[in-house]
């Protein structure tokens, strides 16, 4: 399948330790066509890093198959490594080297002739607005700059697939937005990209398709508009009280236009397609029951409501 950049079938990783058995990835099946920016979205511990680890040959799967750029990650890891670029979750630049040297060395390691490695390194630094920092030590870089250097380094040998594990984790909001622009540019140039993220907003902003993962399994996969359409397009109203609102949950469920209502602790969560009218009804019900509202949250149909509908749990970044 020449047009498929990444495909997995029943991919699994089980860790066994003294504290028990963890199914970090529990039978993952997905396909990423060439040229796509594909996102693995899930909360901490969902199995994203383990998945990226297996696709980049750092972690050996317990079971299942994965092919990246046409090569099998278990049978032919060397071919896979040659065809991919990887941006790790943490800064793993060589601190002994300058920015330019970090790129050049990686280029040479990937088999580029010295002149070509330098030309390509300078071109990438220019492209990522780091031209003036070529001679700087990596220890002098800010978090955002270091991330850009790591991306440039991962692209030096023109990989078929670029992997990024939580690329904007820990960056301030402005730096995150700058990095999104860079990733947009990389995608526009036709590069296949697979990234993991626990930021809904990031997946929503960047990805052609998203796999929502939790407990090592894909809950849903597709373009965001499709995911939104497949989960009912409900708005989620969350009303918080100073006590348990159990006494009004049945009445809330019976309101016309309410698709579901449930209580957790002091919160009442209501799914509806007619949020404005229902909110007024809920406020009235609360007053009649003598309940004091302390907070009201309205989440319109989004990736967040898709997650809520699929898992029944609120998404915690």
Q: Choose between 50 and 286: whose C-beta lies nearer to ligand ATP.
A: 50
Q: What DSSP character marks residue 115? A: H
What are 226-230's contacts with CB under 8 Å, separation 24+?
A: 227/303, 227/306, 228/301, 228/302, 228/303, 228/306, 230/306
Distance between CA atoms of residues 272 and 235, nearest Å: 5
143-155 vs 99-109: helix crossing angle, rounded to 10 = 20
Q: Choose between 24 and 186: whose C-beta lies nearer to ligand ATP.
A: 24
Q: Choose between 15 and 105: whose C-beta lies nearer to ligand ATP.
A: 15
CB of 19 to ligand ATP, least distance (A): 8
CB of 304 to ligand ATP, least distance (A): 17
CB of 165 to ligand ATP, least distance (A): 7
CB of 93 to ligand ATP, least distance (A): 20
Q: Choose between 153 and 198: whose C-beta lies nearer to ligand ATP.
A: 198
CB count within 10 Å of CB 75 equals 10
Q: Answer for the pair 316, 200: CB distance below 8 angstroms, yes or no.
A: no
Give the DSSP H or E segment for 211: strand 209-214
CB of 21 to ligand ATP, least distance (A): 9
CB of 204 to ligand ATP, least distance (A): 18
User: What are the percentages of helix, strand and coil residues in the chain, rounded to 5?
Assistant: 40, 30, 30
Q: Is the CA virtual torsion 56, 60, 62, 66 positive or negative?
A: positive
Q: Choose between 39 and 47: whose C-beta lies nearer to ligand ATP.
A: 47
Residue numbers at the binding site for ligand ATP (CB under 6 A): 15, 17, 22, 24, 42, 44-50, 166, 198
Q: Choose between 49 and 57: whose C-beta lies nearer to ligand ATP.
A: 49
Closest CA to 157 of 84, 53, 79: 84
CB count within 10 Å of CB 220 equals 17
Q: Choose between 13 and 81: whose C-beta lies nearer to ligand ATP.
A: 13
Burial code (b: 16+ CB inside 10 Å, e: under 16) for 234-249 equals bbbbbbbbeeebeebb
CB of 68 to ligand ATP, least distance (A): 17
CB of 43 to ligand ATP, least distance (A): 7
Q: Is 158 helix (H, G, I), strand (E, B) or coil?
A: coil
Q: Choose between 46 and 84: whose C-beta lies nearer to ligand ATP.
A: 46
């Amino acid at each position: 399948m020449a047009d498929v950049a990444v495909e997995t079938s029943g991919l699994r990783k089980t860790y066994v330790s003294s504290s028990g058995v963890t199914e970090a990835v529990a039978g993952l099946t997905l396909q990423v066509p060439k040229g796509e920016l594909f996102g693995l979205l899930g909360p901490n511990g969902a199995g994203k890093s383990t998945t990226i680890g297996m696709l980049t040959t750092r972690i050996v799967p317990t079971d299942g198959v994965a092919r990246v750029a046409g090569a099998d990650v278990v049978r032919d890891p060397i071919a896979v490594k040659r065809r991919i670029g990887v941006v790790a979750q943490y800064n793993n630049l060589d601190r002994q080297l300058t920015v330019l040297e970090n790129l050049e060395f990686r280029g040479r390691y990937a088999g580029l002739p010295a002149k070509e490695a330098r030309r390509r390194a300078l071109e990438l630094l220019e492209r990522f607005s780091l031209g003036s920092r070529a001679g700087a030590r990596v220890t002098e870089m800010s978090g955002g700059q270091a991330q850009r250097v790591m991306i440039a380094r991962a692209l030096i040998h023109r990989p078929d697939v670029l992997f990024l594990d939580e690329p904007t984790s820990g960056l301030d909001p402005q730096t995150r937005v700058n990095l999104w622009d860079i990733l947009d540019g990389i995608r526009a140039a036709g590069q296949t990209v697979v990234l993991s993220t626990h930021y809904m907003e990031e997946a929503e902003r960047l990805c052609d398709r998203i796999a929502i993962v939790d407990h090592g399994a894909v809950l849903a996969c597709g373009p965001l508009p499709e995911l939104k359409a497949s989960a009912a397009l409900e708005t989620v109203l969350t009303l918080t009280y100073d006590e348990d609102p159990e006494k009004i949950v049945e009445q809330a469920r019976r309101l016309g236009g309410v698709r579901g209502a449930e209580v957790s602790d002091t919160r009442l969560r209501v799914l509806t397609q007619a949020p404005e009218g229902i909110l007024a009804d809920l406020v009235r019900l609360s007053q009649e029951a003598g309940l004091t509202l302390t907070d009201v949250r309205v989440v319109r149909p989004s990736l967040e409501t898709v997650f809520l509908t699929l898992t029944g749990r609120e998404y915690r970044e």
